[in-house]
Structure 1
């Protein structure tokens, strides 16, 4: 199978980073602005999330800040790990026991978001990123060998 040219791979990474990052930022904003962190902590407590206040602050902060970093492609490996850990917590403490489907409170969305963030963090943000401008790494040949 023929590989996509590097520029096409970088465009796909850009689109993926922006899309996934927007979803994280929207969820973080919802925790801060729409619900409020106190209400989010209360909801977390009701769901049995450990240290609900700390967890609410972590989730909101990670989703807003690391989600924004993902969009910009800055500190991408760190952002990917922080967002993945956020989704691992959501999976373990809230969604795992509800089955697969999000319509039933299941884990499909948190798994998809966590794995997407992890993949972007490991593969890298691509050419169209602040990481690339800051670190000035040479262009790579392709994502997959």
Structure 2
């Protein structure tokens, strides 16, 4: 009914909404689409990590491993944006319980690529890949604890 009033009064619907609201309204996905793209993105991340591990034994395999492993982690991280949305994902990543793990993870993603392409230090790239894994595990673990806590709160209410 409000739309009809706006059209009849000559006011455009988009004039009332801010730019952020317009973008959010135009980019909503159905739940099934979100779940499908989550699995597609997550599976591609796992595939990149496995491919990187398989390429480890080639002549320039260590560089390929670092690149594919980093791409796999980025894809796995991006997959969660489909479930909860990018803004909510960023807010949750930078909550105090996950702040250190998030900063270490993002820093290690960048430093892994720097070690491979800029500094040409393969051993350092492996260390940063290990740190990526530990930071992702820590960040995921704190996420699971938060989900459990929220689930308990919802059951009590």
Same fold at TM > 0.5:
no
Q: TM-score, normalised by structure 1?
A: 0.36
Q: Between Structure 1 and Structure 2, whose CA radius of gyration is higher?
A: 2
